[in-house]
Amino acid sequence: MDLFKKCETFNKEVLNQFMENGLYPYFHYLNSGQNTEVLMEGKRTIMIGSNNYLGLTSNPDVIKAGVDAIKQYGSGCSGSRFLNGTLDIHIELEKELAEFLQKEDVVTFSTGFQSNLGIISAIAGRSDYILCDKENHASIYDACRLSFAKMLRYEHSDMEDLERQLKTVPEGAGILIVTDGVFSMSGEICKLPEIVELAKKYGARIMVDDAHGLGVLGARGRGTAEHFGLEKEVDIYMGTFSKSLASLGGYMASTKEVVSFVKHNSRPFIFSASITPASVACARASLKVLRENPEIVSNLANISDYMRSGLKKKGIKLIESITPIIPIFTYEDEKAFLACKLLLERGVYVNPVISPATPKGQALLRTSYMATHTKEQMDEAIEKIAEVLKILEII
């Protein structure tokens, strides 16, 4: 069979039916920057489908830092960190992150996805075992495959199943338990205290993907481990700059030994160009805002709680959590697409989540919030969401 036959089939059988019905929900374009309200395809739209949790993509100090960095360092680094691509501001960002996260050292990567690939593929090898929550991010799954380690998946947040899997690991094998801190689709928080207990019992190391936890959880926004008071118990933090820190790139925080090992053994790190100067500067400026204004974390929690309460008052079924990710059930995949279309027509942007990303019959609208959203914007969004869900006979 011709290699490209699958492409033709996919377009005909999957995409065309949604496009012809006007239900295709992807690749809508913005005419403005990320903010609580955007111009989407020329129309004012309340943005509740972004990961811009602290609202810093429009912060004047963050923008100025990016502009100044381009003027000083140019548009790119033209090489990997391993060779010619390290700037002094890369080193400064890593020092500042290490201090903020209370870890010995940090290494940065060009994207968040690449961070997981680079960390896990370097740390875990053929004789090692990785215990992976079934709802972990796709980048973790790809990283496990790249590592050649044996991956054992445990049922989502099921600590009995995690222990059952741990018992099967051969004596003497290296063990890494990897979990999202905040699960990106549901907004649920991992059961870190129980994971720490099991890791100690079975001699495992712990890695937390805190892409959706940094700036969201903990009194100072340090993430999932701070939320539980377990910062000394997590061996590796992974995170990204593309969410709370309003930039692009990712990082690993750990001991000096582990960071040095990854720097010298991680192929995705060694063979990729380094983060651009503007992205580094914007991440540093965003981190500075977070460090100097920890109340922004409380602002995010308050606006998320306000939205969650307002939706519940309308009889809308949610997945319970305390994070700014609030999924709303539509149950059927087609209703998720239709709800997105109807909401966008009313000036509200949300994300559809359908099978296989969710179990069949559990399709969602993934909504997410910013510390800079106003109650007036939330009230408007609540009314329009309720209106659409009534039209679709979901409530």
Instruction: State the catalytic residue, choosing from 103, 137, 212, 335.
Output: 212
pLDDT confidence of residue 152:
98
- Model confidence at 261: pLDDT above 90: yes
The more confident residue out of 231 and 320 is 231
29-58+294-391 and 60-292 agree in CATH topology: no
Question: Given the structure tokens 């649920």, which residue do they identify?
Answer: 188
Q: Look at residue 331 and give its three-state secondary structure.
A: strand
pLDDT category of residue 47 using cuts at 50, 70 and 90: very high
Tell me the C-alpha distance between 211 and 192, whole Å. Answer: 15
Angle at which helices 295-313 and 375-391 cross, to 10°: 30
pLDDT confidence of residue 275:
97
pLDDT category of residue 37 using cuts at 50, 70 and 90: very high
pLDDT confidence of residue 23:
85
CATH number attached to the domain at 29-58+294-391: 3.90.1150.10
What φ, ψ does residue 330 adopt, rounded to 5°? -115, -15
What one-letter code names the amino acid at 314? Answer: K
110 is catalytic: no
335 is catalytic: no
How far apart, in Å, are the Cα atoms of 174 and each of 39, 126, 344? Answer: 50, 10, 49
50 is catalytic: no
Pairing, β 250-254 against β 236-240: antiparallel
Q: Which of 231, 192, 196, 218 is nearest to 323 (CA)?
A: 218
> Exposed, middle or buried: residue 276 (CB in 10 Å: 0-12, 13-18, 19+)?
buried
And the tokens for 199? Answer: 């890791």
- Model confidence at 11: pLDDT above 90: no
b/e code 191-222 from CB counts within 10 Å (16+ = b): bbeebbebbeebebbbbbbbbbbbbbbbeebb
- Model confidence at 169: pLDDT above 90: yes
Q: Are 244 and 301 in contact (CB under 8 A)?
A: no
Topology, domain 60-292:
Aspartate Aminotransferase; domain 2 (3.40.640)
Work out the average pLDDT over 272-284: 98
DSSP letters for 254-297: E-HHHHHHHHHH-HHHHTSBPPPHHHHHHHHHHHHHHHH-THHH
Pairing, β 351-353 against β 105-109: unpaired
- Predicted confidence (pLDDT) per residue in 217-250, tens digit: 999 999 999 999 999 999 999 999 999 999 999 9
DSSP at 34? S
Tell me the C-alpha distance between 95 and 106, whole Å. Answer: 7
pLDDT category of residue 319 using cuts at 50, 70 and 90: confident
| Rounded (to 5) percent helix, strand, coil in the chain | 45, 20, 40
Question: Given the structure tokens 């960390």, which residue do they identify?
Answer: 119
Work out the average pLDDT over 347-358: 90
And the tokens for 376? Answer: 């007036």
Instruction: State the catalytic residue, choosing from 139, 184, 247, 272.
Output: 184
Residue partners of 165: CB distance under 8 A and separation at least 6: 131, 152, 153, 154
- Model confidence at 91: pLDDT above 90: yes
- Model confidence at 14: pLDDT above 80: no
What one-letter code names the amino acid at 13? Answer: E
Q: Are 48 and 350 in contact (CB under 8 A)?
A: yes
Q: Look at residue 69 and give its three-state secondary structure.
A: helix
Work out the average pLDDT over 62-82: 97
And the tokens for 392? Answer: 């679709």
The domain limits of the chain are: 29-58+294-391, 60-292
Instruction: State the catalytic residue, choosing from 90, 137, 227, 243.
Output: 243
pLDDT confidence of residue 281:
98
